[in-house]
Amino acid sequence: AALDRHRRDRTRLVEILREIQDDLRWLSPDTLTAVAAGLGVSRADVEATATFYAFFATRPRGRTRILFSDNVTDRMAGNRALYRRMLAQFGLSGDETSADGRVSVGLTACTGMGDQGPAILVDGRVVTRMTADRVDAVADLVRRDVALADWPEEFFRVDDQVRRADVLLGGPWVPGESLSAAIARGRDGMLAEMRASNLRGRGGAGFTTAVKWMAARDAAGGPKVIVCNADEGEPGTFKDRVLLASHAGKVFEGMAVAAWCVGASEGFLYLRGEYLHLKAPLEAVLADMRARGLLGRSVLGTEGFDFDVEIRMGAGAYVCGEETALIESLEGKPGRPRIRPPFPVVRGYLGRPTVVNNVETLCKAHEIAKRGGAWFAGTGTRQSTGTKLLSISGDCDRPGVYEYPFGVAIAEVLADCGAERAIAVQVGGASGVLVAADDFRRRIAFEDVPTAGAMMVFGPGRDLVDVAAAFADFFAEESCGFCTPCRVGTRLVKRLVDKVAAGHGTHGDLLEIRRLQSLMARTSHCGLGQTAANAVVDALERFRPAFERRLAAVDFEPAFDLDASLATARRLAGRDDADAHLVQEFEP
């Protein structure tokens, strides 16, 4: 049925597997074979996609699957103790399935709920504000086989938590206003406004949006495609969640403005799997816009301007935030970044010219269409025009989403969110920069501290070694494995940081971390590997005493304990005398 619902379209493989898994709980070898036959593709292709995404289970799992969000801010809020409590509820000792097949419990990357965590996913639905009581309540509901639809609504409550609104979060959506203005200006006139605005992409890279749109407009081939990147996977980021929940009309109208400028007829919103709760409300907004003539054939009665949007779900892969990996995923493949050039504006989705823009960028395009490029450029700094949304979490009194003109000092943001005593802030997520207190005068802007929107605050008493260890864990899990420097480098960095955190590290290990970071930055295929060790090295440079306090007082200490690894063999042999132990000796 899932195959027929998706017209046996190979590009919809991720959606098809999601739906089948919802019905059957896991993707068995026979299921994968049947899907391959149904789509007319090789079994290997289907298996490659099924095994790539974290949310797909290719081994049997429990009837209910519980995943604990495990970002560094979740750890700071005590998620690990809650995780152990949940495991104990079902007599589990780690990431595994209960013997009766009732439940699987495990960990997952940041779920985008940093302002109302710790959070869990239960069969893909997010439950926020976990406490010991809520863990017990969830365990009870699972034990009694209560359907998710009958769980207390309060468990699934996700608040916007907008703490500071400016033009974007404060302005209403007047359906059709921006799009009418864009159409009235003509394609070239609207692109001229985009150029005048100097809007730069809000996803992190800061590429000029007008340049991207013009390149797609000028590219040969079609039909052209507009993709909204709603894969907000950067740990600590959740501002797109708020835009999608409460400003979706602006997002979709921004996509239509882009389509008008570029000459595109097809649109996709790629929504991260963790935001499943937003899918139905987003579909309702799309239906409303179609009814108003803002999407579909002859948009707003404009002959020759046909454009519509389809929502596609991700399935738990951070790397899909990279635009070419996202396009691969949209085509139903594993989300591995492509070699560039050619860039997506020339050869993107199915080889067609494709614009990929972040959710916030498209909202900004909506603003520019409404009020003009000069108005937009009047806010912020010369190189960073407009306002920026920040997701603030961690050690602060008022976590949530804040909108500021670009150029705001980090100190001002921290004062507003009640974090005056912070010792450091990780700006830009796990791949961003760690700013220590003596640099809090620095400003949020592309020319100073750029960010896609995450600010994780660390207060007095936080050990930056633990923070570094959390980021190292994250990248070792999320490397897609395509290229060796990243696949191996992220694991080596994690092992070294864990060794330091456990009190076995040496100065040589710290040097090795730096050497690996430099190697990965130079030789990794995509941004994930290039930036994967930055947070660790930033922490090492700015909080060196925290690392040195944990070092072993020797020149070399192995990461591998050979004697301990032989414990099982000793037990089986029934020996534990001195001769059954290995003494490891190393030359200084």
CB 486, min distance to ligand SF4, A: 3
If the CB atoms of residues 265 and 479 are measured against ligand SF4, the closer one turns out to be: 479
CB 107, min distance to ligand SF4, A: 20
If the CB atoms of residues 125 and 487 are measured against ligand SF4, the closer one turns out to be: 487
The secondary structure of 125-177 as a DSSP string is EEE-S--HHHHHHHHHHHHTT--GGGS-GGGG-----EEE--HHHHSPP-TTH
If the CB atoms of residues 358 and 530 are measured against ligand SF4, the closer one turns out to be: 530
CA atoms within 13 A on the CB side of 580: 14
If the CB atoms of residues 71 and 530 are measured against ligand SF4, the closer one turns out to be: 530
If the CB atoms of residues 187 and 487 are measured against ligand SF4, the closer one turns out to be: 487
If the CB atoms of residues 29 and 481 are measured against ligand SF4, the closer one turns out to be: 481
CB 300, min distance to ligand SF4, A: 41
What number of other Cβ atoms are within 10 A of residue 51's Cβ? 12
If the CB atoms of residues 134 and 336 are measured against ligand SF4, the closer one turns out to be: 336
d(CA 10, CA 343): 23
CB 272, min distance to ligand SF4, A: 16
CB 474, min distance to ligand SF4, A: 12
CB 523, min distance to ligand SF4, A: 9
Closest CA to 166 of 364, 336, 326: 364
End-to-end Cα distance, the chain:
66
Query: x/- site string to ligand SF4, residues 293 to 322, per CB under 6 A?
Result: --------------------------x---
Query: Counting Cβ atoms within 10 Å, is residue 85 exposed (0-12), middle (13-18) or buried (19+)?
Result: middle
Residues 43-102 that bind ligand SF4 (CB under 6 A): none
CB 484, min distance to ligand SF4, A: 8
Measure the CA dihedral 142/148/154/158, to 10°: 110
Task: Tell me: does residue 286 bind ligand SF4 (CB under 6 A).
Answer: no
CB 518, min distance to ligand SF4, A: 15
Measure the CA dihedral 41/43/49/52, to 10°: -160
Give the residue at shortest CB distance from ligand SF4.
529
Structure tokens at 213: 């749109």
Vertex 467, ends 445 and 113: CA angle to 5°?
A: 70
CB 216, min distance to ligand SF4, A: 24
Q: Name residues whose C-beta falls within 8 Å of residue 471's C-beta, 6 or more positions apart in sequence.
A: 72, 235, 430, 535, 536
CA 390 to chain centre: 15
Residues 450-489 that bind ligand SF4 (CB under 6 A): 479-483, 486-487
CB 482, min distance to ligand SF4, A: 4
d(CA 509, CA 291): 62
Residues 497-556 that bind ligand SF4 (CB under 6 A): 524-526, 528-529
Q: What are phi and psi of 484, to 5 degrees?
A: -65, -45
Q: Evaluate whether 17 touches 35 at the Cβ level (below 8 Å).
A: yes
Structure tokens at 280: 């139905």
Residues 333-372 that bind ligand SF4 (CB under 6 A): 336-337
Q: Evaluate whether 312 touches 268 at the Cβ level (below 8 Å).
A: yes
If the CB atoms of residues 411 and 521 are measured against ligand SF4, the closer one turns out to be: 521
Binding residues for ligand SF4, rule CB under 6 A, total 15
If the CB atoms of residues 417 and 496 are measured against ligand SF4, the closer one turns out to be: 496
CB 321, min distance to ligand SF4, A: 10
If the CB atoms of residues 329 and 479 are measured against ligand SF4, the closer one turns out to be: 479
Sign of CA dihedral 56, 61, 66, 67: negative
If the CB atoms of residues 97 and 237 are measured against ligand SF4, the closer one turns out to be: 237
Q: What is the identity of the amino acid at 588?
A: P
Closest CA to 227 of 309, 282, 343, 314: 309
Interface ranges with ligand SF4 (CB under 6 A): 319, 336-337, 479-483, 486-487, 524-526, 528-529
